[in-house]
Amino acid sequence: MARRPSSYVCQSCGAVSAKWAGRCESCGEWNSIVEEQTGGGIGGGPGRAARSKGRVIPLVGLTGDAKEAARIRTEVPELDRVTGGGFVRGSALLVGGDPGIGKSTLLIQAAAQLASLGHKTVYISGEEAVGQVRLRAERLGLAEAPVSLAAETSVEDILATLESDTAPALLILDSVQTLWTDKVESPPGTVTQVRASAQAMVRYAKKNGTTMVLVGHVTKDGQIAGPRVVEHMVDAVLYFEGDGAHQYRILRSVKNRFGATDEIGVFEMTGKGLVEVPNPSALFLGDRNSSAPGAAVFAGLEGSRPLLIEIQALVAQSSLGTPRRAVIGWDSARLSMILAVLEARCGVRFSQHDVYLNVAGGLKINEPGADLAVAAALISSLSGLALPANCVYFGEVSLSGAIRPVAQAQSRLKEAEKLGFDQAYCPEGNLKDSTSSFRTTGLAELGDFVAKLSVEAGTSGES
Ligand code: TYD
Ligand code: MG
């Protein structure tokens, strides 16, 4: 029998090469190249069926009938917010997250919710036995929900089962890495298998108008394991994040063909499963010690939602030749930049000091708008004087020391007002859309800000 053609596929990035190598030329990963059988099967694409001539497809213009995508709302507002207003029928979603973070819990809760609302829901577990899933459902008080459950990993069996009945409204596959199809010969979990299986399932979902949720594992550097192609195949990619030390979990959309990205939903993991957090700012501000120096409240934005977050800095005399800089929850390069701007433009020296920066609550922020709050926390800690307790900060600092406006100042201020703050330092460019009840101070330069802070510290010190 003629040998099936094989190729060498990097299990990290999915790059294909003709021969084996110790290191992938495409992504630089060591020892990630595995020989895989190619050709044929679901992953092989429709081109293999010998067809001499293509069919003529009609080409249409951009204007015409375009109905708003039909959605199934879960009535879990935090989940509906992240998906952009509910699951779109016939769409495929990929939910990634660390092991044990609560992906299966979230999805069984969503499945039970939709099933109780009268939608046909199928949950296929490839990792846990039926008994385990039942046990969890029972613990969550969801055992009565009419969810159809199976423990299965074979794509052919799953498809045959689904096709033997009316198509479900929601199909959950936990996880995509456990799926395998006998149309390709690579072992389960390999790039070729994951790609072929996901493709077959996505095709089923699109054809039958089923919303399909695939659960994906993440690698140690936080990427969804397996080929990037799965991310391209699906309509939305959601990450479920959080850390072991904290109870709350964040569902974040990083790609969404039917809604905004960067939208977040906040949940809390409790003994009774995941519970929505309707007012996350209150959670992240928690029990704040507002009289301690080095803490500044940042009025941030996650997706379309304003969020107040406490930024904590500790500036301490260093005994080392090269002082330490440690950051948790923010970009360390960005911290170096703020320190450099403070030194070069405002004459505030940190070269003899260790600097530690922490975003309270274990949250990760990557918005440049936090620059001003970070600068405020740093100066407060360096001077040993606490910032006013009822004040929020936001603004992007440029290398020249200028403070640049940020998006949606109005909603940031509203959120701050809602939580009892009445004072804000913000970019001058954002002043025109500020509300009157707020004492907003517009800033053009970081230097002005440092001067204002020292004046305030002086007056409060005297009183
Ligand atoms: P799980 O959904 O199995 O995580 P994943 O599918 O992402 O691997 O969640 C497992 C964790 O959640 C486990 O450490 C226990 C915790 N948990 C609770 O705290 N409360 C609960 O009600 C449930 C079901 C799980
Ligand atoms: Mg799981």
325 close to ligand 1 (CB < 6 Angstrom): no
The pLDDT of residue 43: 47
Distance 101 CA to ligand 1 centre (A): 6
Q: What H or E segment, with its residue span, contains residue 271? A: none
Asked whether residue 52 is domain-assigned, the answer is no
100 close to ligand 1 (CB < 6 Angstrom): yes
The pLDDT of residue 222: 61
Backbone angles phi, psi at 5, to 5 degrees: -65, 145
60: burial class by Cβ within 10 Å (0-12, 13-18, 19+)? exposed
Query: Do 20 and 79 have their domain in common?
Result: no
Asked whether residue 60 is domain-assigned, the answer is no
Residue at a domain's end among 245, 278, 311: 278
105 close to ligand 1 (CB < 6 Angstrom): yes
Query: Do 375 and 266 have their domain in common?
Result: no
Distance 221 CA to ligand 1 centre (A): 21
Distance 99 CA to ligand 2 centre (A): 7
Contact 231, 218 (CB under 8 A): no
What is the rounded distance in angstroms from the CA atom of residue 278 to the CA atom of residue 264?
Answer: 12
Query: Do 136 and 169 have their domain in common?
Result: yes
Q: Name which residue sits closest to atom 13 of ligand 1, judged by CA.
A: 100
Backbone angles phi, psi at 229, to 5 degrees: -60, -30
Asked whether residue 215 is domain-assigned, the answer is yes
DSSP string covering 81-135, please?
HHHTSSEETT-EEEEEE-TTSSHHHHHHHHHHHHHHTT--EEEEESSS-HHHHHH
Query: Do 20 and 102 have their domain in common?
Result: no
The pLDDT of residue 463: 35
What is the rounded distance in angstroms from the CA atom of residue 84 to the CA atom of residue 262?
Answer: 11
Residue 133 has pLDDT above 60, yes or no: yes
Q: Name which residue sits closest to atom 8 of ligand 1, judged by CA.
A: 100
What is the rounded distance in angstroms from the CA atom of residue 207 to the CA atom of residue 229?
Answer: 20
CATH number at residue 395: 3.30.230.10
34: burial class by Cβ within 10 Å (0-12, 13-18, 19+)? middle
Mean pLDDT of 7-35: 84
Cβ atoms within 10 A of the Cβ of 451, count? Answer: 12
What is the rounded distance in angstroms from the CA atom of residue 219 to the CA atom of residue 217?
Answer: 7
Fill in the amino acid letter for 239.
Y
- Confidence label for 49 from pLDDT (cuts 50, 70 and 90): low
Asked whether residue 200 is domain-assigned, the answer is yes
The pLDDT of residue 462: 39
Query: Do 10 and 99 have their domain in common?
Result: no
Lowest mean pLDDT among 132-146, 181-195, 220-234, 328-342: 220-234
Contact 33, 24 (CB under 8 A): yes
Distances (CA, A) of 260 to 22, 213, 374, 421: 40, 18, 27, 28
Which ligand ends up closest to the CA of 126? 2
Q: Which atom of ligand 1 is nearest to the CA of 215?
A: 6
Residue 245 has pLDDT above 80, yes or no: no
Place of tokens 């001539």: 53
Residue at a domain's end among 218, 252, 278: 278
Which ligand ends up closest to the CA of 136? 1
Distance 98 CA to ligand 2 centre (A): 9
Query: Do 294 and 251 have their domain in common?
Result: no
Over residues 349-396, the pLDDT tens digits come to: 999 999 999 998 778 888 899 999 999 999 999 999 999 989 999 999
DSSP string covering 352-415, please?
TEEEEEEEGGG-----GGGHHHHHHHHHHHHHT-PPPTTEEE--EEPTTSBEE--TTHHHHHHH
What is the rounded distance in angstroms from the CA atom of residue 173 to the CA atom of residue 100?
Answer: 16
Q: 105, 136, 178: which to mutate for ligand 1, most atoms within 8 A of CB?
A: 105
Give exposure, 162-191, as e/b (b: 16+ Cβ within 10 Å).
beeeebbbbbbbbbbbbbbbebbbbeebbb
Residue at a domain's end among 215, 244, 278: 278
Higher pLDDT pick, 68 / 123: 123
Q: What percent of the chain has pLDDT over 70?
A: 91
- Average pLDDT over the chain reads 87
99 close to ligand 1 (CB < 6 Angstrom): yes
Distance 290 CA to ligand 1 centre (A): 34
190 close to ligand 1 (CB < 6 Angstrom): no
103 close to ligand 1 (CB < 6 Angstrom): yes
Q: What is the CA radius of gyration of the chain?
A: 26
Fill in the amino acid letter for 298.
F
What is the rounded distance in angstroms from the CA atom of residue 67 to the CA atom of residue 90?
Answer: 14
Residue 62 has pLDDT above 90, yes or no: no
Higher pLDDT pick, 228 / 304: 304
Over residues 267-320, the pLDDT tens digits come to: 999 989 999 988 888 877 867 777 889 999 999 998 888 899 999 999 999 988
Place of tokens 């021969």: 19
Query: Do 299 and 271 have their domain in common?
Result: no
- Confidence label for 36 from pLDDT (cuts 50, 70 and 90): confident
Q: Nearest-5° angle of CA 247, CA 251, CA 257?
A: 180
Mean pLDDT of 164-183: 93
The range of the structural domain enclosing residue 375 comes to: 282-462
Asked whether residue 123 is domain-assigned, the answer is yes
253 close to ligand 1 (CB < 6 Angstrom): no
Q: 139, 250, 269, 274: which to mutate for ligand 1, most atoms within 8 A of CB?
A: 269
Which ligand ends up closest to the CA of 101? 1
Query: Do 113 and 157 have their domain in common?
Result: yes
Lowest mean pLDDT among 216-225, 279-288, 308-317, 336-345: 216-225
The pLDDT of residue 455: 80
CATH number at residue 216: 3.40.50.300
The pLDDT of residue 1: 53
The pLDDT of residue 50: 55
272 close to ligand 1 (CB < 6 Angstrom): yes
Count of domains forming the chain: 3
96 close to ligand 1 (CB < 6 Angstrom): no
